[in-house]
Structure 1
Amino acid sequence: MAQLSSLIPLVRERCGGVLDQMARDQLGRAYQKFCYESRFLARTQEIEKGQSGELNIDDDHVFVSVDFVLDANGSELKSSDDYLVSSNGTVTVISTSPKVRVFYHIAPQFLLPNDFDADNTIVNRWADAIADGAASTLLMMPNTAWTDLAKSDYFKRRFTDGYRDAFQVAIEALDEQRPSQTRVFY
């Protein structure tokens, strides 16, 4: 797992003079928003009939949403008709399927500890985007030597482009596992 503190030099390139702790805090917030918006931290879990439907959530993470649920035959179930999802990440299966496979997303908690282990793929592939997100917030701080609203807006757009790119990658990976459904036209 990667440490977010390894991205501090990238933040300093964008926002000179910032203290390490300030950069670390904003990197944590940028990483959290990146993961939430991109839905890149996807997980899969099988739940058998009679089991509690609590989804496994990594330490220092929270449940975001269920993308889709497949029954034992690989058919996609319908939310509210075949299963229910609570806000804390518990899936209640209503259908008669003996086992279901749940595809869901998690994101880091809002306040992360300093020794937080971030996802390697995200940190390695979108390091610049996460640093852009941290820098965009730092550059908006009033009465500092590095305050620059125009640069802040520029880095915010780059950060948004970064998590949109990650969202596309995540959706394409999930679509490979989702069964294609035939449409019936009348």
Structure 2
Amino acid sequence: MTQLSTLIPLVRERCGGVLEKFALDHLKRAYQKFCAESLYLARSQQFNQGEAARLTIDDDHAFGGVSFVLDANGHELERGLDYNVSVSGEVFITKNTSAFKVFYYITPLFSLPDDFDANDTLISKYADYLADGAASTLMKMPNTQWTEINFSEHYRRNFIDGYRLAYREAINALDEKRPTKPREFY
């Protein structure tokens, strides 16, 4: 796992003179927003009938939501009809099936520790976008040597483009595992 502090030099390229503590705090915020908007931290877990279907959540993370659930035959179950999900990440199956697989995502907690281990793949692919997100909020800080409102908007747009790219990647990866529903024509 990679620590967010490794991205501080990228933030300093964008915001000259920023203090390390400020850079790390804004990187943590950018990472949280990036993960929440992109649904990049997707997971899957399989359960057997009768097992308590409590989803595994990583340390310093919270349950984000369920994307879809497949039964033992690989058919997609309908939320509210075949299964329900609690706020804490427990899945309750109402359909009779020998096993089921849950595809879900997690998000980082609001208050992350300074030595937080971030997702390696996300950091290696989207480091510049995360630095842009941190820079966009840092540049809005009043009365600092790095305050620059115009550049802030530029970095904010780059950050949004980054989590949109990551969202598309995450959805495409999920769609490869999701069965296609047959269309009914009348």
* Residues 93-147 of structure 1: CA deviation (Å, up to 9, x unaligned): 0100111100000011111111111011110000000000000000000111111
Letter in 2 for 1:12: R
Q: Which residue of 1 aligns with 2:96?
A: 96
Q: Which runs of 5+ in 1 are unaligned?
A: none
1:10 equivalent in alignment to 2:10: yes
Q: Which runs of 5+ in 2 are unaligned?
A: none
* Residues 155-186 of structure 1: CA deviation (Å, up to 9, x unaligned): 00000000000001111111110001101111
Alignment of 1:63-142 (within 5 A): 63-142=63-142
Paired residues, what number? 186
Superposition deviation, residue 49 in structure 1: 1.4
Deviant stretches of 4+, over 6 Å: none
Q: Which residue of 1 aligns with 2:38?
A: 38
Aligned-residue identity in percent: 56
Distance 1:6 1:106 in 2: 22
Distance 2:117 2:176 in 1: 28
Distance 1:68 1:96 in 2: 17
Letter in 2 for 1:18: V
Distance 2:183 2:144 in 1: 58
1:175 equivalent in alignment to 2:168: no
Q: Which residue of 2 aligns with 1:148?
A: 148
Letter in 1 for 2:139: L
TM-score of the pair, normalised by structure 2? 0.98
Distance 1:146 1:42 in 2: 35
TM-score of the pair, normalised by structure 1? 0.98
